[in-house]
Amino acid sequence: MRLRLQKYIAQSGICSRRAAEILIAQGKVLLNQSKVAQIGDSVDPNIDSVSVEGRTLRPRRKQYFLFHKPPRVLCSKKDPNNLTSLTHLLPPALQHVFYAGRLDFMSEGLLILTNDGAFSHQLTHPSFGIQKHYRVWLKSISNIESFLNTITNDGIVDGGELLKAQSARKISKVKGVDLLEIVLCEGKNREIRRMIQAYDGKVIRLKRITMGPFSLNDLKVGKWRSFNQKELNFVKHIADNGRI
């Protein structure tokens, strides 16, 4: 069975499918030790060899983990400014996995770690409609109901992008701080923070609590665990059906 080249690279565990497409476009992927790969190429894993920057790829066992990211941690593996990143928090056995659906430096909560590029794509691409639930503590928005109505109906245009929530509700207000639940189906950069900033609000804390069927539950901050059988069944279902 032939596979699209970017899917095969993602299955090897070195990067996501999107990152694989960039490597192909940059001319860093070689087929059968001679041909510079092009976008649109496909391979037969039983016949063809694929190398990236001189390294021959071998598909490895797929792995899946939940991680409770603390605030003030970068999702990237390296940082030139020596800020704390995932590399500092993950054990050697997890250094090869990558995140599916990043959280910014100050945000906390659920992060999916995997070496399965196809699953990462399915979990994060808007076409699959995976809901992500966030708890947001904020202040300085005088009319919170107007804000909630706007982000769930018309949305907010910022930098040429339409920012819009699937749903949003106010949970409570304590000492001038509103606690909201916001649900997104897309993963635009810093989307919730940008929506709040457009209303001159200030985010005190932002925490992702679920992604599709995956939930933090009682997972402690800075800790990780492997997927349970129910979660693995979801991975198989979405791989077999191409949708939820």
Rounded (5°) CA angle 124-111-236: 55
- Whose structure tokens read 């995976």? 130
- Residue 82 sits at the vertex; the CA angle it makes with 81 and 84, to the nearest 5 degrees, is 125
CA gap 77, 185 in Å, rounded: 25
- Measured N-to-C along each axis, helices 144-152 and 191-198 cross at an angle, to the nearest 10 degrees, of 130
Comparing CA positions, the residue from 81, 25, 64, 38 lying closest to residue 236 is 64
Q: Which residue has the tokens 């390296």?
A: 78
Distance from C-alpha of 163 to C-alpha of 135, rounded to nearest angstrom: 17
Give the catalytic positions in this structure: 104
What tokens were used for 66? 């939940």
